[in-house]
Amino acid sequence: MTATIITITSGKGGVGKTTTTANLALALAELGDKVVCIDGDIGLRNLDVVMGLENRIVYDLVDVIEGRCRLRQAMIRDKRMNELYLIPAAQTRDKSSVTPSDMVRLCDQLRDEFDWVLIDSPAGIERGFRNSIAPADVVLVVTNPEISAVRDADRIIGLVEAEEKGPAKLVINRLNLDLVKRGDMLTADDVVELLAIELVGIVPEDASVVVSTNRGQPVVMEAYTKAGQAFRNVALRLKGQEVPFLDLEEKKGFFQNLSNMLRSGGN
């Protein structure tokens, strides 16, 4: 077994890196794969909270790297799934406690035992980001359809290319259909046109994400949510399956076409 190491990053904070990591991890585990998540946000950990595993942390990433425990001891098993583990970040240290080569070594140890290693990168482009992308086979850039988030995503994609880890793949999170219809939000097409990388997911804005995050139950666990389905589709696409984009995309496509028709008519 040789794991694919995926780093989830964004540049800008608050776009949904951690939510994406937790949901992808559960979705991949639900498909029967062996998954381990690493929280790369040392000092500001929260992947454990979103996954609902906070109360079981004994050892963390920095303990493993500094040799205070064995790798297995720091891996918290998610009881909802057969083979899903979390390596939490240290809360009391900072990003400089870990180096990019530490991360590469750690991931190499995990490679043989898992199908997927998901690394939740911190926001920003400094040490924590470099630690997180150092071992990556695939970099997943999460963005929102907002100019500031897209600008940061563009910068991140450039940095990933410069590190020869590219081309990155794109997840557009929190697309608000109503705003798009009214022409008040960037469309998925606008974002893809600028960033020019492969799109692997469009996740609609969905109140159930907030609810489920607060409960520590990632939204993919709930069968009938649009956001949950969108994350399950990302997991399938990462596994190489061709999955059409969700229904919401078609509706949006229709309005897009309509507005394009009107515009070209006036030209």
Instruction: Specify whether the CB–CB gap between 201 and 231 falls below 8 A.
Output: yes
Which of 1, 92, 162, 242 forms a contact with another protein (CB under 8 A)? 162
Which of 161, 176, 181, 221 forms a contact with another protein (CB under 8 A)? 161
76-77 and 169-175 strand pairing: unpaired
- The CA distances from residue 63 to 33, 58, 67, in Å, are 27, 10, 6
Tell me the per-residue interface mask from 115 to 134 with another protein, x by CB under 8 A, - otherwise: ------------x--x---x
Q: Which is nearer to another protein, 77 or 165 (CB)?
A: 165
Neighbour count for residue 241 (Cβ, 10 Å): 10
Q: Which is nearer to another protein, 77 or 151 (CB)?
A: 151
Q: Which is nearer to another protein, 145 or 204 (CB)?
A: 145
> Residue 260 interacts with another protein (CB under 8 A)?
yes
Angle at Cα 239 formed by Cα 16 and Cα 203, nearest 5°?
A: 30
Cα 59 to chain centroid distance, Å, stands at: 23
Question: Applying CB under 8 A, which part among 37-45, 116-124, 151-159, 240-248 lies near another protein?
Answer: 151-159
Instruction: Specify whether the CB–CB gap between 45 and 64 falls below 8 A.
Output: no
> Residue 154 interacts with another protein (CB under 8 A)?
yes
- The CA distances from residue 22 to 70, 96, 179, 244, in Å, are 24, 24, 27, 22
Rounded to a whole number of angstroms, the minimum distance from the CB of residue 27 to another protein is: 29
Which of 112, 164, 178, 242 forms a contact with another protein (CB under 8 A)? 164
How many residues of this chain bind another protein (CB under 8 A)? Answer: 23
> Residue 263 interacts with another protein (CB under 8 A)?
yes
Provide φ and ψ at 62, rounded to 5°: -70, -35
Tell me the per-residue interface mask from 57 to 96 with another protein, x by CB under 8 A, - otherwise: ----------------------------------------
Residue 185: which residues within 8 A CB-CB, separation 6 or more? 145, 146, 175, 176, 179
Question: Applying CB under 8 A, which part among 63-71, 157-165, 209-217, 232-240 lies near another protein?
Answer: 157-165
- For 88-236, strand residue ranges (E) read 116-120, 138-143, 169-175, 198-204
d(CA 174, CA 227): 9
> Residue 99 interacts with another protein (CB under 8 A)?
yes
> Residue 137 interacts with another protein (CB under 8 A)?
no
Q: Which positions touch another protein (CB under 8 A)? A: 99-101, 127, 130, 134, 147, 151-152, 154-155, 157-159, 161-164, 194, 196, 260, 263, 267
